[in-house]
């Protein structure tokens, strides 16, 4: 990324990436870590998998509680389990760091797309993800993707209000503060793979690029209202053209 400054290139575009099923697929590894952490914190086995697509880790956890019959008698008891679960999940996933690249994979064109965007003038590139900070950083480092991203301004689950649309707005404000720059709403581009993420981009006032690399088809992503739909990230030309066209 060629950041502006005194005599440098003016910064006016913010590009945010979702991680899971947009850049990489480590579902098998994360599910195993998730199941262990869930059992350790709740005392119940994870029999029924929670909804994962487009959700944050806290949302997934609360969904898992209901699906797996965890009885919480006191108001706020589920919230009290969230922090211990988050810590346990991060520990279990970190113990599997070597499996991320052997049982998981980069999605086609992901590294090349990040590299291409990083080479653009006037662009800050980071992530907006449903993962917590330690889990997101672990996954990105495993595949060498963190070198292209400014994670200091990233949006992580557990660090900002929900839903993702609110997280997007908070991320934009953090980037503006760090770079002393103003990012117009439509000059903030969110690249993700689910209709929920398209909705989050709309809620945050951002331009939405949807990649049909997850569970949703291109038709479903277009119907959700994405500004640009890509079959995958192997051809970066449409993405680079859209970023360049933003005000």
pLDDT at 57 over 90: no
- List pLDDT tens digits, range 209-240: 999 999 999 999 999 999 999 999 999 999 99
Look at residue 226 and tell me if it is in a domain: yes
Same domain flag for 125 and 212: yes
Same domain, yes or no: 87 and 119: no
Let me know whether 96 and 214 are in one domain.
no
List the CATH number of the domain containing 159: 3.40.50.1000
Q: Indicate if 167 and 95 belong to the same structural domain.
A: no
Does 202 lie in the same domain as 150?
yes
Which domain, by its residues, includes 19?
13-26+106-245
Distance of CA 91 to the CA centre of its chain: 20
SS3 124: strand
pTM exceeds 0.85: yes
Per-residue pLDDT at 63 exceeds 60: yes
Residue 161 lies inside a defined structural domain of this protein: yes
Encoding tokens for residue 75? Answer: 């108001």
> Rounded CA gap, 243 and 103, in Å?
33
Average pLDDT value over all residues in the chain: 90
Please give the tally of structural domains in the chain: 2
The two three-digit tokens of residue 190, written as one number: 């969110």
> Taking 90 as the threshold, does the pLDDT of residue 168 lie above it?
yes
> Do the strands 207-211 and 105-106 form a parallel or antiparallel pair, or are they unpaired?
unpaired
For residue 148, is it within any domain? yes
76-93 pLDDT tens trace: 667 788 889 999 999 999
The pLDDT score that the predictor gives to residue 120 is 94
Residue 200 pLDDT: 94
Q: What is the pLDDT of residue 72?
A: 60
**89: its two tokens:** 């999940």
With cut-offs at 50, 70 and 90, classify the pLDDT of residue 74. Answer: low
Instruction: Let me know whether 131 and 162 are in one domain.
Output: yes
Q: Quote the pLDDT of residue 6.
A: 38
Domain ends where: 68, 101, 134? 101
Residues 21, 32, single domain; the answer is no
pLDDT score, position 62? 86
């Amino acid at each position: 990324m060629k950041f502006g400054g005194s005599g440098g290139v003016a910064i006016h575009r913010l590009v945010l990436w979702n991680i899971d099923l947009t850049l990489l697929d480590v579902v098998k590894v994360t599910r195993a870590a998730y199941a262990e952490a869930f059992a350790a914190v709740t005392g119940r086995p994870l029999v029924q998998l929670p909804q994962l697509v487009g959700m944050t880790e806290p949302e997934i956890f609360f969904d898992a509680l209901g699906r797996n019959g965890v009885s919480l008698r006191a108001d706020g008891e589920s919230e009290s389990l969230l922090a211990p679960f988050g810590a346990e999940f991060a520990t279990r996933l970190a113990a599997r760091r070597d499996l991320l690249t052997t049982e998981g994979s980069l999605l086609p064109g992901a590294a090349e797309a990040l590299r291409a965007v990083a080479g653009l003038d006037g662009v800050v590139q980071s992530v907006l993800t449903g993962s917590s900070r330690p889990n997101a950083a672990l996954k990105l480092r495993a595949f060498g993707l963190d070198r292209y991203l400014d994670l200091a301004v990233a949006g992580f689950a557990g660090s900002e209000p929900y839903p993702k649309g609110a997280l997007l707005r908070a991320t934009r404000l953090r980037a503006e503060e760090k770079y002393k720059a103003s990012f117009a709403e439509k000059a903030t581009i969110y690249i993700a793979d689910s209709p929920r993420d398209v909705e989050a981009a709309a809620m945050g006032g951002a331009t939405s690029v949807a990649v049909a690399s997850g569970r949703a088809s291109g038709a479903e992503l277009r119907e959700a209202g994405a500004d640009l739909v890509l079959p995958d990230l192997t051809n970066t030309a449409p993405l680079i053209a859209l970023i360049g066209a933003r005000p």
